Each structure stands twice: as C-alpha cells, then as structure tokens.
Amino acid sequence: MKLLFVASECAPFIKTGGLADVIGAVPKTLTAQGVDVKVMLPAYPALKGLVDQGKTLLNFGSFFGGPARLVAVNAEGLSLLLFDAPHLFDRPGNIYLDKTGSDWSDNHLRFGALSAAAAQVSLDGLAGWVPDLVNVHDWQAGLVPAYLRQSGRPAPKCVLTIHNIAFQGLFTKSVLPDLGLSEDLFTYDGLEYFGKVGFLKAGIVFSDKITTVSPTYARELMLPEFGMGLEGLLQSRKSDLLGILNGIDLDTWDPSKDPDLIATYSTRTLRRKAQNKAALERRFNLTPGGNGPLFCVVSRLTQQKGLDLLLDVLPDLVARGAKLAVLGSGDKQLEAGFVAAAKTYQGSVGTIIDYDEALSHLVQGGSDAILIPSRFEPCGLTQLYGLRYGTIPVVARTGGLADTIIDANAVALADGCATGIQFAPVTAAALGQAIDRTCELFDQSDVWQRIVRRAMRQPVGWDQSAQAYHKLYTDLCAS
Ligand code: ADP
C-alpha cells in the first residue's frame, strides 16, 4: 500500500505541538508494518539543510505566486517530500504567526498551495509513485480533498485527521480565486462556513473518512460544547468518524536511557528518580526536601489547558506542603501569573517561561505528578510521558485524558488498575480536590509506589494505534 501523509509539522524537524509528534511517529511504525509512506510538508527554514541534501522530483513552475518544487529526502527513518516554495515558507519565526503574533496574512495561500501541490501528487504521482491513499492532517491540509473533488478525476481515497478542532482555517470568501477554487464548491454542504471559506470544513465534507486522536474526543466533537460549530456536520458523518488514540515515541521517551535526565531509572530502580527531583528543584529555585509531592506543568499556556484554574488553587497547593514547577509559554497573562506566583511562593513554586524540549524531559523525570486541567484535550501527550516516567497524571476527564488515565478511586485501587487521578467538572474547586487526593495518596508511600510502577508499565507506544490506522487504510482501499 502506498500512502501519502500531508501535514504542516513533523517532529523532530519542525514542531509547535502534538501534531508534529504524530506525523513523526505514525509513518515510521506503518513502514515497519510494510506500508510505503511518504510525508509531505513545507520546506520551512529549519528544513533548509534537508532540502539541500535532497533530490528535486517535481517542478511546479510558478505556483501560487512564485516558483515551487518538491524535493525528496530520507531522514530520521522517514521518506520526506519537502514542498519548497520560498515565497510562502522561507521566512523567520513561527511557522503560523508573524512577529506581532498574528497569523501570517497569506496563510490561506501558504497552506492552500501545500494542499494543491499534494492533490497534484495524489492525482499524477511522483516519478512513478502513485499513492493508493492520502491522509491529510488538520486545516492546513484540509483543502486536499476539495482539490481532488474539483479535478473531477479518479483520485485516491482521502482520510482527514483532526488533531484539534479549535483551529479551523477560516478565511474570507474573496480568497477563492487566489486558491483556484470554483465558486461551485462554496455551498453549505461544501466549503462554506458561515460566509467564510473553511479549510477544515472542506476536509470534513470531502474526505472519505475522518479520524481524530482519541475515542472520547470523537464523541465529544459531535456535541455543541466541543464541536466548535462543526458538531452538526460531524454528526451527519458519524459513521465515517473514528477515534484512534495517539501514542508516544518509546525511544525518545524512555526513562531508562534518557540523556536529558540526571539519573536514568526503571521500575526496578525507582529510587534514582529522586536525583532528578533534586536537580529539578535546583533548576526551578525550589526549596529542597519536604514531605509533599512535586507537581509539574509542561504546556502551552492557553485557555484550552485550564491553567488559570491552577493559579486559583495555588494557595491551597502550597499550604498542603506541595511544590510546583511550571515549564510553559504562550498567553502573556498566564505567563505573568505564573511568574508572579513564583515570587509570591518563593521556594514552593518555580516558573520557567520557555519552550525547552530537553528541560521537558527532566521535568517529567523529576516530578511526582503532572497537572493537566484541560478544558478540552483531543488526546494529549504529556499525560502519556507522565505515565512512562512514573509521574502521576492528574487530569481533567475529557478527550484523550479520559481514555488514557484510570482514576485512583476506591474500586480501581482495590482492583490494582489505577494509573492517575481524574477530575470533573473542569473547575478550580474540582482541581483543588484532585490535588488534595493526590497529596493523600502520596502520603501513603506503598500505595503511591504501586500506582507509579503500574503507570510505568502502561502500553503507551504507537503499536496499537498504528494497527488501527493500518486497518482503516486497508478497509478503505478495499471498499
Ligand atoms: P498540544 O498539542 O495541545 O500543545 P499535547 O499534549 O498533545 O498538547 O502536546 C504538547 C507537546 O508539546 C508535548 O510533546 C509537550 O511535551 C510539548 N511541550 C509543550 N510545552 C512545552 C514547553 N514549554 N517546553 C517543551 N515542550 C513543551
């Protein structure tokens, strides 16, 4: 089976969030299962070195206002197709936002061009390689099936994966001619969304199947509280909507050989985790010792992640003798809130405003518990890292958090299956109670150690998910 992945991010080359991890990991696992996968993504400046090593397989000529080509290169176990269009992608800074923090004003052209180029490859193939199936990811690749439909030609089947429905790629109707899309598609049952052009909506309407990154999020997407206006459309496609849980890269996230830890450890050498805790306390200016747990946060600081609620309950957390290390960046008000908290509760709360991959490993390795009070969470990765590092996830009961963590209630504790703490609703009061429960469990050292060991043994790799994707592709190709 030949499969084309189309996305705007791919770890370890370019990453702003969990999407990149998925695109970096799933194709590798599918390749091991015998699938011939190519990953198409824009040639941002961070990928310039790879472009220079690669081979040009296709010249598009003048494409969306400038020269564009497709460069093939193998790297990190992936077969990459880099869409090199300097007028659209060769610019410094964030891949989606300009210096002022606003969306690049030509994002419709940038990702429209990516989608149009991917559609061309899907239809005509590349040096004899013609995909049987295309899996497009999020709004940035959402127009691929619209271009396929517009071509009127026989096309490979298309799967859309929604990683986060909060990002929909909405633009004014006036962009249609620049995108080379016909007005005929601009209808209620096409790509029109309340008078705008919706890239993600187009993907939902024109794809053969839709997946998202956890079974619970798949159900939530059909509800008004979570569907962000697309719930009705998704309900109408219910039989084509499937939740496949994300996994994590077990090589990169392995406490027994993680080079970013001070001391590596496994379930048999758990005592060594304390050395990471001590290093983390130094790094975050926290007072060493004490009897309470060390909580952490590794997150984008945004409304979605519910961390404003954590600010509300900080006095109680500190009063219980617990500590908190926050690694994050994003919303300026939340950043300021956590910086101020580190001053107010010096020694008990430490804040580092940054995006630091290496430090995120030490934070996972050195903390006792990780707080994830998200208002919605399509899948979430940090709770999975937490499980693997024996850093107990304390999570809101939503999306993938609900699917991956078993709450330490009395029944689960008696059955020996608890792996973390869940709470609902997502309010400061419920979060405060969850923190209390965590502290109580932490005080019972034997119980805590059993939960930690069980958490570390959870199957959080990609094998099961890749099998589910593989089955979906196989069924779709056969249909
Ligand atoms: P989202 O994609 O919504 O941001 P996920 O939990 O799915 O949330 O993925 C977030 C990813 O980004 C994880 O790999 C996490 O470790 C990483 N991350 C988030 N914030 C930081 C940070 N400040 N420093 C390092 N890594 C971070």
CATH of domain 267-456: 3.40.50.2000
How close is the Cα of 249 to the center of ligand 1, in Å? Answer: 14
Q: Ligand 1 pocket test: which of 9, 96, 361, 382 has the largest number of ligand atoms within 8 Å of its C-beta?
A: 382
How close is the Cα of 111 to the center of ligand 1, in Å? Answer: 23
Q: Which residue has the tokens 């798949």?
A: 218
How close is the Cα of 69 to the center of ligand 1, in Å? Answer: 31
Whole-model pTM: value is 0.93
Rounded distance between C-alpha atoms, residue 440 and residue 292, angstroms: 9
Burial 404-434 (b: 16+ CB within 10 A, else e): bbbbbeeebbeeeebbbbbbeebbbebbbeb
How close is the Cα of 63 to the center of ligand 1, in Å? Answer: 34
Query: Which fold, 2-247+462-478?
Result: Rossmann fold (3.40.50)
Rounded distance between C-alpha atoms, residue 366 and residue 290, angstroms: 15
Please report, for residues 380, 398, 399, the alpha-carbon distance to residue 193 in angstroms, rounded to integers and kept in the order given: 28, 26, 25
Tens-digit pLDDT string for the chain (479 aa): 999 999 999 999 999 888 998 999 899 989 988 999 999 999 999 999 999 999 999 999 999 999 999 999 999 999 999 999 999 999 998 999 999 989 999 999 999 999 999 999 999 999 899 999 999 999 999 999 999 999 999 999 999 999 999 999 999 999 999 999 999 999 999 999 999 999 999 999 999 999 999 999 999 999 999 999 999 999 999 999 999 999 998 988 999 999 999 999 999 999 999 999 999 999 999 999 899 999 999 999 999 999 999 999 999 999 999 999 999 999 999 999 999 999 999 999 999 999 999 999 999 999 999 999 999 999 999 999 999 999 999 999 999 999 999 999 999 999 999 999 999 999 999 999 999 999 999 999 999 999 999 999 999 999 889 899 999 999 999 98
User: What pLDDT score does 183 carry?
Assistant: 95
Q: What is the pLDDT of residues 306-320, one digit of tens each?
A: 999 999 999 999 999
Which atom in ligand 1 lies closest to the alpha carbon of residue 16? 12
User: What pLDDT score does 16 carry?
Assistant: 87
The greatest distance separating any two alpha carbons of the chain, rounded to the nearest whole angstrom, comes to 68
How close is the Cα of 18 to the center of ligand 1, in Å? Answer: 6
Q: Whose CA is nearest to atom 16 of ligand 1?
A: 382
How close is the Cα of 314 to the center of ligand 1, in Å? Answer: 22
Which atom in ligand 1 lies closest to the alpha carbon of residue 377? 3
Contact 322, 435 (CB under 8 A): yes
Which atom in ligand 1 lies closest to the alpha carbon of residue 304? 3
Rounded distance between C-alpha atoms, residue 111 and residue 426, angstroms: 34
Contact 458, 387 (CB under 8 A): yes
How close is the Cα of 25 to the center of ligand 1, in Å? Answer: 15
Spans of all domains in the chain:
2-247+462-478, 267-456
How close is the Cα of 382 to the center of ligand 1, in Å? Answer: 7
Q: Ligand 1 pocket test: which of 137, 304, 355, 389 has the largest number of ligand atoms within 8 Å of its C-beta?
A: 355
DSSP-derived letter for residue 103 is B
Q: Ligand 1 pocket test: which of 137, 360, 367, 384 has the largest number of ligand atoms within 8 Å of its C-beta?
A: 360
Contact 6, 118 (CB under 8 A): yes
Contact 253, 388 (CB under 8 A): yes
Which atom in ligand 1 lies closest to the alpha carbon of residue 299? 20
Q: Verify cis geometry, omega within 30 degrees of 0, for the bond prior to 86.
A: no
Residue 462 in tokens: 């990609």
How many Cβ atoms from other residues are within 10 Å of residue 287's Cβ? 11
Q: What is the pLDDT of residues 18-69, one digit of tens each?
A: 899 899 989 998 998 899 999 999 999 999 999 999 999 999 999 999 999 9
- Contact residues of ligand 1, CB 6 A cut-off: 17-18, 21, 298-300, 327-329, 354-357, 360, 379-382
How close is the Cα of 152 to the center of ligand 1, in Å? Answer: 40
Contacts 24+ apart (CB under 8 A), 193-197: 193/168, 193/229, 193/230, 194/229, 196/170, 196/171, 196/172, 197/108, 197/170, 197/171, 197/172, 197/173
